[in-house]
Structure 1
Amino acid sequence: MTDRHVPATGLGGSGDPVELSAMPLEFTAFRELHHPRYLSYARVWFHEPAEAAETVEQAFRALAAVWPEVLGSPNPTAAAWQILRSTVDERLDPCGVPAPRAATKDEDLAILHYVVGLATPEIADVVGADTASIASQLRHALRREPSEW
């Protein structure tokens, strides 16, 4: 849950401050629904709780900056998930070189299922995919050697 008494701010794409607490109701609802899952995912990659939390906050600030475009996209949940993944990747390696720990899509799903503990329908909700596709990709992920999670 968010603390509505402490506004979270950051810079939007135009360089203007984005105040998350002043965002539309749809954004607030999306954030409250996905924040705990995003944070659980980030904690897999960033063992310091504060770093994981800041990564998720950075992702939500980036999402807030493009919220109208995300809402107009064919799959807003998938677009938001990509923003989170990009933010995680950037923070893992701020120099822009592909991080050796960066997860593939199958590994992301396996992390969400086996490490974070989400059921297939919950994963589908988080990443913006259908449940059957997620189940198939999880089976595929099991056949491969997982990287260090």
Structure 2
Amino acid sequence: MPVDFALGLPARGVSSLAVTDLGFSAFAERNQPRYTRYASARLSRDADVQVAVHLTFGLAGGNWSWLLSQPVLAATVWAELRHQVEVRLAKGAAPDNDAAALYEVLPRAKADSVLLCHRLHFDVDSAAELMGVEPPAVEASLRAVKRTPPPLAERKDS
């Protein structure tokens, strides 16, 4: 079977084009700008952003039928995007310093909620939909972060 050289995924022939390809196209068209905004907020270089988003959609498109069987498709693809960003960072990509500080002190899901809602100005419903979670999960993350004390080095003595 031919392999797509860039992604290492099986190449799909014309005969495999089906209704699911239309579903993937709609998913990609809706989410590509939002995924790019997220990746841009975490990575300093546009080239790293493009690689992370491209690989995410390449893997999603190559596994679309399987993704459709997952309990929450958006959550699975979101996890892949986060993974691709983290792979870029592990390979030496320059992080956005503000975002890096956020991810150093918070669990990933909470950091994602803060980044999407406070830095990228998504409303709670849009952030939840993008991450594949329910809005109360995003709201709970944002409330928990507000209650989190600043790191010891930042605290003022009384």
TM class, shorter-length: 0.7 to 0.9
Correspondent of 1:132 among 114, 130, 136: 136
How far apart in 2 are the matches of 1:18 and 1:61?
12
What is the aligned partner in structure 1 of residue 10 from structure 2? 16
Deviations 1:33-90 (A, max 9, x none): 1111110010012112232122111111121222111110000010010110111111
Letter in 2 for 1:124: A
Task: Name which one, 1 or 2, has greater alpha-carbon Rg.
Answer: 2
What is the aligned partner in structure 2 of residue 30 from structure 1? 27
Correspondent of 2:60 among 48, 63, 70: 63
What is the aligned partner in structure 2 of residue 119 from structure 1? 123
What is the aligned partner in structure 2 of residue 81 from structure 1? 78
- How many residue pairs end up in the alignment? 130
Secondary structure, aligned partner of 2:6: strand
More helix by share: 2
Moved more, 133-142 or 67-76: 133-142
Q: Report the Cα offset of residue 139 of structure 1.
A: 1.1
Q: Is the 8 A contact 1:18 1:61 kept in 2?
A: no
Identity over aligned pairs, percent? 25
Q: Is the 8 A contact 2:10 2:62 kept in 1?
A: no
How far apart in 1 are the matches of 2:5 and 2:123?
32
Structure 1 pair 142–78 and aligned structure 2 pair: CA distance change class (3 A):
same
- Give 5+ residue unaligned stretches, structure 2: 93-99, 152-158
Q: CA RMSD in A?
A: 2.6
How far apart in 1 are the matches of 2:90 and 2:82?
12
Deviations 1:82-123 (A, max 9, x none): 11011111111039xxxxx49321011100111111000000
Letter in 2 for 1:45: R
TM-score by length of 1: 0.76
How far apart in 1 are the matches of 2:42 and 2:26?
25
